[in-house]
Amino acid sequence: MKILYLIHQFYPEFYTGTEKFVLNLSTMMQKAGNRVKVITYSFYEDSFYDQWRGEILCKEFLYNGIPILAIKHKQLPDDIHHAIGNTAITEIADDLILMEQADIVHIGHTMRVGALAQALNSLGIPYILTLTDFFLACPKVNLVPSRQPLCNGPKQGEACGKLCPELKSDYIHQRLAAAKNILSNARMLIAPSAFVAGVFMQEFPGLAVKVVHHGLSFERLKRNQRTYANGDRIVFCYAGSFNSYKGTHVLVEAFKRLNPSNAVLKIYGSGPDESYVKSLTSMAATNSNIEFCGVFPESQTGEVLSNVDVVVVPSLCYENYPMTLHEALACNIPVIATNLGGMAEKIKDGFNGFLFNMGDSRHLQTVLEGIVNDPRVLNRLKRNIDSTAIPGVEQEAYGYSRAYRMIKG
């Protein structure tokens, strides 16, 4: 079987949750004897590309044995991160897809490659769509509006107009119509969390969305075997992007108020917003127990996590199913997370971690203090993590393989 994967960005340029999901799945399918290929949007320098089709630059290469076709506009459109369709990609979409002679297409994300997704139906090529975030329901991707902290969904565009007045009505309704077309023509819709599935089924009545949790590759992870006693030094960790909606500043604010001698906060990651990154480092400058550790390669995930005691996910948006949270639990590390979305499905307050109210640094401070004052609580949380079901990539791939075969017939 030839399986074609479409995604908005990919390795080695980007390697966050959705990219890991597609890499793991395509690798497993290739090992099972299928032919696979990934078409991804990209942002390399123009000199990287050695082909062009109309206004689109192209480059084929291998990453970890997976064939990749990277595409990019010669001139980046202003709406590339938000629009579903794109004229320049539409003009070459049929040729790009037909050239691959795929039996089935799996869309990992429609951002920037929505025009390719739109072409599949007219070509009669069956496709599966995994909803890894809210892109098709929300013009701003993460349900973070302009006029209040969070949005509960577009409500056929009514909420978009009220909460994001900078968006024009025609654009909102055209975008939702395009999203509905892509969603309704998919042979199967899958989401990694019940929360995300619920948002889409509420917004687009009649859709059926199956929940399949992301699997992990355990071979690069290490279990944290540490046990704790009173007075032990605790290492808290944040690992992810530096964006305001990821809430890193909330964690820094909470930790600064602790100022303990027996606790450290290690912050891993980077971000495109230089002013936000600068404000983070400025906030932390007076506290020597806050360390900015840069970005670590994926191959070192197990090593990094084996040397921390608690992972914190302080997001100010509805996370779907954060890979960092998933990996922490697989390493037997308790997680503190915002009481939102898919995070609250996996973290049970006081059982395998703690939940705190979104954006409430005082509440988070209380949770951190409780652990620092009595580290023995982590022993109980870690025992409970052992009973938390964490699927492997093999289980995930088996489920998708069955879906592929069923759809192909």
Burial class, 385, CB count within 10 angstroms (exposed 0-12 / middle 13-18 / buried 19+): buried
Which token pair is 166?
A: 């900078």
Q: Is the pLDDT of residue 333 over 60?
A: yes
Question: Of 344 and 362, which is predicted with more confidence?
Answer: 362
Q: Is the pLDDT of residue 345 over 70?
A: yes
Query: What is the chain's mean pLDDT, rounded?
Result: 91
Q: Is the pLDDT of residue 37 over 70?
A: yes
In angstroms, rounded to a whole number, what is the distance separating the alpha carbons of residues 319 and 195? 9
Q: Is the pLDDT of residue 231 over 80?
A: yes
Across 82-91, average pLDDT: 89
Q: Can the peptide bond before residue 12 be classed as cis, meaning omega within 30 degrees of 0?
A: yes
Which token pair is 239?
A: 């690992």
Q: Is the pLDDT of residue 167 over 80?
A: yes
Q: How confident is the model at residue 388 (pLDDT cuts 50, 70, 90)?
A: low
Percent of the chain predicted with pLDDT > 70: 99
Which token pair is 148?
A: 């209040």
Question: Of 381 and 297, which is predicted with more confidence?
Answer: 381
Four-residue CA torsion sign, 210, 213, 214, 217: negative
Give the pLDDT score at 387: 55
Hey, what domains does the chain have and what are their CATH numbers?
Answer: 2-215+392-408 (3.40.50.2000), 218-385 (3.40.50.2000)
Q: Please give the order of strands across the beta sheet that includes 35-41.
A: 51-53, 56-63, 66-73, 35-41, 2-7, 104-107, 127-130, 188-191, 209-211
Residue count of the chain:
409
Which value, to the nearest 10 degrees, does the dihedral of the CA atoms of residues 225, 228, 234, 239 take?
A: 30
Across 319-329, average pLDDT: 84
Give the pLDDT score at 302: 86
Over residues 188-205, the pLDDT tens digits come to 999 988 999 999 999 999
* Least confident segment among 144-158, 290-304, 340-354: 144-158
Q: How confident is the model at residue 298 (pLDDT cuts 50, 70, 90)?
A: confident
Q: Please give the order of strands across the beta sheet that includes 263-270.
A: 290-294, 263-270, 234-241, 310-313, 335-338, 353-356
Give the pLDDT score at 94: 94
